[in-house]
Amino acid sequence: MKKSDFGRAKINVQVTPGEMLKTLRELQEMTQLDLSKLTSIPQSNISAMENGSAQIGRDRALALAKALKVHPAVILFPDFDIQEVA
């Protein structure tokens, strides 16, 4: 098989920044309290961000991304597709 035999995967589900935050946290088997301790962001704020009642914002995204070992854009722009820009 060649690389050209494969197509790009399609996005079937839209993901919000809060849902992405929760997914990343759970994939690393962290509780909200664990993440709170790593970021100094109160657990209640993490809960609010995950359920969409609080915005994540740049500064929080930087702290969260560092703790979760991902680029901040993964959290802030989970549905970004570079192919659409090019």
pLDDT digits (tens, 9 = 90+) for 28-37: 999 999 999 9
Beta-carbon neighbour count of residue 47 at 10 Å?
Answer: 15
Say if residue 7's pLDDT is above 80. Answer: no
Whole-prediction pTM: 0.80
Query: What is the structure's pLDDT at 84?
Result: 54
Distance CA 70, CA 68 (A): 6
Which domains does the chain carry? 16-75 (1.10.260.40)
- Tokens standing for residue 67: 């703790």
H helices present in the chain, as ranges: 17-27, 32-39, 43-50, 57-68, 72-76, 82-85
pLDDT, one tens digit per residue, over 11-66 is 667 899 999 999 999 999 999 999 999 999 999 999 999 999 999 999 999 999 99
